[in-house]
Structure 1
Amino acid sequence: MPETRLDIDRIRAARRMIDPVFLDTPLYRCDALDPALGCAVSIKLETANPVRSFKARGTELIAGLLAGDGAGAVVCASAGNLGQALAWSGRGRGLDVTVVAPRSAPAAKLDRIRALDARLELVDGDFDLARERAAAVARYEGIRLIEDSQDIETCEGAATIGLELVGAVPTFDAVLIALGGGALATGVGHVVKALAPEVEVICVQPLGAPAMTHSWRQRRVVTTGSTDTIADGVAARRPIPAVLDDLLLVADDAVLVQESSIMAGMRMLLDHAGLVVEPSAALGVAAILEDRDRFAGRHVVTIVCGGNVDMDAYHRWVGVAPDHTP
């Protein structure tokens, strides 16, 4: 395959640095989804770990390397999941972690970052403004800035999911991957294209946050002025050029889905799989709902990438009345 920034040997080595609690997450055929979606669906459940998202695969790798080099502090920008993961990984290795997040990020994610002993700084604005502030903190304090997707470790940590997919599923036709900054898509995509090139790699992004998809389609960085989606975990406006270069080499397609489909996907994962997921984790199901003919009769893997969601908002999105029973 064409050469990206990622390396299969480093990805295999990464597994040895990642706490096993984040590895070999459940992967199973969800037969209950088949009739509703018209295809065979397997779920890779990246919420079955202490931070309820795939992000810790990358932060485990980064924190391990930093601790080995004697680093004492790090800072990152996060919509919530990366911050939780870095806080978890840093706490276990004696690193002081600062997370810069949008004030509008889900309260459940922010509370969890605080509970993991990280210093949390909130900014008025979106994720890209949080990125700018995190970079300023790193410069002022002289500490390491962790940039999701830009730092290759975040991509290669996520890529270990691809190793598990290719090693466990005898045959599948396509993998549906949530697309935000690109770490998950480029990581998993790299492994799949290297080890199972016949599998279609399809990235999925909300219509309200389309910057990376537009960039992939036009083969150049395309920024947007704003985002408007419930899928906060993938709501970025400014693609990173090096990440786009990698994505162009491993993605077969990038599609955009409507908010109504994301909510319908969340409801389907609740009703048919018993899973409470955040909006980004339902993007794969949303893509199937919007193009059933494309996937009819095929075996599709979707990565359920996160389960950190504000429950009041979740109940509104999926149309389930909240239970306030003491």
Structure 2
Amino acid sequence: MQETRLDTARIRAARQVIDPIFLDTPMYRCEALEPDLGCTVSIKLETANPVRSFKARGTELVASLLADNGSRAVVCASAGNLGQALAWSGRGRGLDVTVVASRFAPVAKLDRIRALGARLELVDGDFDLARERAATIARHDGIRLVEDSLDIETCEGAATIGLELVDTVPSFDAVLIALGGGALATGVGHVVKSLAPGVEVICVQPLGAPAMTHSWRRRRVVTTDSTDTIADGVAGRCPIPAVLDDLLLVADDAVLVRETSIIAGMRMLLDHAGLVVEPSAALGIAAILEDRDRFAGRHVVTIVCGSNVDVDAYHRWVGAAPIHRS
């Protein structure tokens, strides 16, 4: 039987390394969402921290290990959120951080990476091209390459969210997790399946970026030539084999949702929960909207994973008018 790379004891120990500012994020039932969704909905709010996403849980582990080992430089590729998180964690530990990103990434994310003191290099392509460039820099300069989801620290940092879910929510039936590279899904999924095995772990991806979902369904790596989604944070083309192996052990399902549903989810979170979120953070709501019967009468947790959104793009997607209130 395939063994996972994740270790529950290490995940528990991670809580002692991660800056407490990123831990114990708000967790609450959002009754205002429930009439439109037809189920009990609890929100795990991973945006209530200085980098406005869950990614710093993992970069805190990475940066701590690097600092302990005397390393001074690190490079990563990022769609935006990992770069901000690594810049934050590296700045606090005196690391020289380089982030490679697509020049088409949201301007707000790129500006924040620079503001946090990282060196930012832009490529004329997507995230997977940025990944190739970051690997080249690491080889050339002889520095640590941080690869989101492949580096186990990024998965086990995210997994601490699972500990908080299991400890905080008396009982829930399913958890909806945004699926991109897989760190969040494998990390949270591992903890939930270890400590609350009856909970259904459902991963959610956009139809326009389906590589990991297709890989999960076929139990082998499936790549795509391109992506077409507003959910930039999960828009990868080339799944990592080791991460897929971990995902296959913990995910009960992986579903694809339409762009219109993602936008509707963003509008619902704004109108009913007062939350401005990036598209990736609305994937869980989108999944409920597309299959209300599946979730009817159940208690569902959705992880709101990021809120670093370009304001102009957000207004184009969501608009000024509120959605219908029940």
TM-score scaled by length of structure 2: 0.98
1:260 aligns with 2:269: no
Q: Deviations over 1:130-189 (max 9, x none)?
A: 000000000011100000000000000000000000000000000000000000000000
CA distance in 1, matches of 2:245, 2:320: 41
Distance in 2, matches of 1:316 and 1:199, equals: 36
Output aligned runs, 1:86-101, within 5 Å: 86-101=86-101
1:306 aligns with 2:287: no
Instruction: Return the letter of the residue paired with 2:170.
Output: P
Q: Is this contact kept in 1: 2:127–2:235, CA < 8 A?
A: yes
* Residue 2 (structure 1) shift: 6.7
Letter in 1 for 2:44: K
Cα 1:181/1:262, change in 2 over 3 Å: same
| One-letter code aligned to 1:84 | Q
Amino acid at match of 2:3: E
2:163 and 2:312 map into 1 onto residues whose CA distance is 36
1:168-187 → structure 2 map (5 Å cutoff): 168-187=168-187
Q: Which amino acid aligns with 2:122?
A: L
Q: Is the 8 A contact 2:2 2:245 kept in 1?
A: no
CA displacement, residues 19-54 of structure 1 (integer Å, 9 cap, x when unaligned):
000000000000000101000000000000000000
Hey, what's the Cα distance between the residues in 1 that align with 2:215 and 2:87? Answer: 31
Aligned residue number for residue 19 of structure 1 = 19
* Runs of 4+ residues deviating >3 angstroms: none
Whole-Å separation in 2 of the counterparts to 1:95 and 1:14:
20
1:230-257 residue CA offsets vs partner (Å, 9 max, x unmatched)? 0000000000000000000000000000
- Secondary structure at the counterpart of residue 256 of structure 1: strand
Aligned to 2:324: none
Distance 1:147 1:61 in 2: 13
Which aligned pairs between 1:1-326 and structure 2 lie closer than 5 A? Answer: 3-320=3-320
User: Which letter maps to 2:126?
Assistant: D
Question: How far apart are 1:122 and its partner, in Å?
Answer: 0.1
Distance 2:99 2:320 in 1: 32
* Residue matched to 1:324: none
> Residue 204 of structure 1: CA displacement?
0.0
Measure, in 2, the Cα distance between the counterparts of 1:16 and 1:161: 14
Cα distance in 2 for partners of 1:2, 1:114 equals 41
In 1: Cα distance, 2:3 partner to 2:14 partner: 19
- Percent identical among aligned pairs is 87
Please give the secondary structure, in 2, of the residue aligned with 1:208.
coil
3-state SS, counterpart of residue 265 of structure 1: helix
- SS for the counterpart of 2:306 is coil
2: CA distance, partners of 1:298 / 1:194: 21
How far apart are the structure 2 equivalents of 1:224 and 1:286?
22
| Cα deviation, residue 319, structure 1 | 1.6
- Please give the alpha-carbon distance, in whole angstroms, between the structure 1 residues aligned to 2:58 and 2:217: 27
Q: For 1:246 and 1:117, how far apart are their aligned partners in 2?
A: 34
Instruction: Describe the SS at the equivalent of 2:268.
Output: helix
2: CA distance between counterparts of 1:220 and 1:275? 36
Q: Which consecutive unaligned segments of at least 5 residues does structure 1 have? A: 322-326
